[in-house]
Amino acid sequence: MSEISYDLPIRSPAAARSTTAWLTLGLISVVAAGVFSILLVLARTPFVQEFIPFLDFFRVALVVHVTLSVLIWLLAISAAFWSLSTSTDRPGLDRVSFWLAAGGTAIIIISPFAGAGSPLMNNYVPILQHPLFYSGLVLFVAGIFCHLLRALLGRRRITSRLDGSGALQFGITLSTLLTGLSILAVLASWLGLPAGMDGQIYFEFLFWGAGHVIQFSYTLLMMIAWVVLAYASGGRFELTPRLTLVYLVILALPVITVPFLYLAHDVTSPGHRLAFTELMMYGGLSCLPLGLAVATGLWRAAKPQGEGRYLRAALLSSMGLFIVGGILGFMIAGLDIVIPAHYHGATVGVTIAFMGLTYYLLPRLGFGPLPERMAVWQPYLYGGGQFMHIIGLAWSGGYGVQRKTAGVAQGLEGFGQTAGMGLMGLGGLVSVIGGLLFLIVAWKSMRHRHGKVH
């Protein structure tokens, strides 16, 4: 094993409290997203869907599920990362940012049951056209923006004696900048939209640029999680801290083109959409140097022991799903369900990495030990179910089954289409079980707190 330590130490009790709060918010969002995902899977599974009386609720459930599982979960864990990268304590700012985000999350969860409807299935941040949903979204983003500013104010300085943890913390600082740029991209899109535009097309253009930018932040944090999980599970990660830092900068580098893309293309133009699609497709290859370094270290690694077993399981599952999702991204050729197959693979790859990081952090935040056997199986079960899910989607997409539909609207006529969606449904149910196991593992650890932070 390398003598260089690539871990994420808990600097102080205040940092531990902030990290714990954001982890908890992320877990709550996963619980709520799981409830809505059960409705989604049942609404799209052949034969079962015929007995569901609430298919009209499919689109509302899809909006809230995506918002919780893609936006709130990923940004809450991002905020936990940011809490680990600071060098000073600011508990007042920590509380303000967290409670803004937590209040917004609560409003989003209850909004469908309080009358919010009129779903719009635009990409990245689907919308329920209701003031309650809007207010929840604004509060949550305000909390995230406040916390990223706090993290930037308290960032760790780079010194000549850079160590492995310092390199990772610099990468976390880069992710705050990328998230801030995505928020600015929403503002730039809003300023560029014509006054009379509304409805789904309005929000599609509003979030298109920002949605592509923030993927780089998620990918950057996923790669940092890979390094941490690889090191903690006995991987022979032998990059120097400075080379690690260079690879993290390379990963973020493609976003420097974003201001020029806004200057070169009108927000509503086909050129704008194509430019950001190509930014994601080809710019995403910037993660290859660090990803290959992690993979090479694992190839020569010894069999893990203890906590390394479940950390290695999360790492391998994340890498596998992310690679499959990336390959499917190059196979998109229309508006069929190859698209959700792609982003389910890529996003779930990030999600499993964040699950693994949660496993890594819980004992270090002062919580009890994880149930080892369950924690080892959980990433494989969740990742295997999601693999079945996306292969089923990609299979049916090859037959032209359209995305964001349910019931008879899917047009399942032949065996190939039905079999593909059946595999999707089975994989979805397996992944729901895997997601439930993640929550059980986390709960078993969090219910026993010994208070020692390390």
Residues 73 and 139 in one domain: yes
Report if residue 114 sits inside a domain: yes
When pLDDT is averaged across residues 106-119 and rounded to a whole number, the result is: 88
Residues 362 and 431 in one domain: yes
- Going by pLDDT thresholds of 50, 70 and 90, the confidence category of residue 2 is very low
The pLDDT value given to residue 331 = 64
Residues 185 and 134 in one domain: no
In this predicted structure, the answer to whether residue 48 has a pLDDT above a threshold of 80 is no
The pLDDT value given to residue 56 = 59
pLDDT tens for residues 327-364?
A: 776 666 555 455 666 667 788 899 999 999 999 999 99
Report how many domains make up the chain: 3
* Cβ neighbours for 4, distance < 8 A, ≥ 6 positions apart: 163, 164, 237, 238, 240, 241
Please give the Cα distance from 405 to 231 (Å, whole number).
42
379 φ/ψ angles, rounded to the nearest 5 degrees: -60, -35
Choosing from 103, 124, 155, the residue where a domain stops is 155
Full domain range(s) for residue 356:
303-447
Residues 151 and 16 in one domain: yes
Choosing from 155, 179, 197, the residue where a domain stops is 155
Angle between helices 73-84 and 131-153 (to 10 degrees): 20
- Going by pLDDT thresholds of 50, 70 and 90, the confidence category of residue 410 is very low
Residues 269 and 145 in one domain: no
Residues 313 and 216 in one domain: no
| 368 and 351 Cβ atoms separated by less than 8 Å | no
Secondary-structure breakdown of the chain: helix, strand, coil percentages, each rounded to the nearest 5: 75, 0, 20
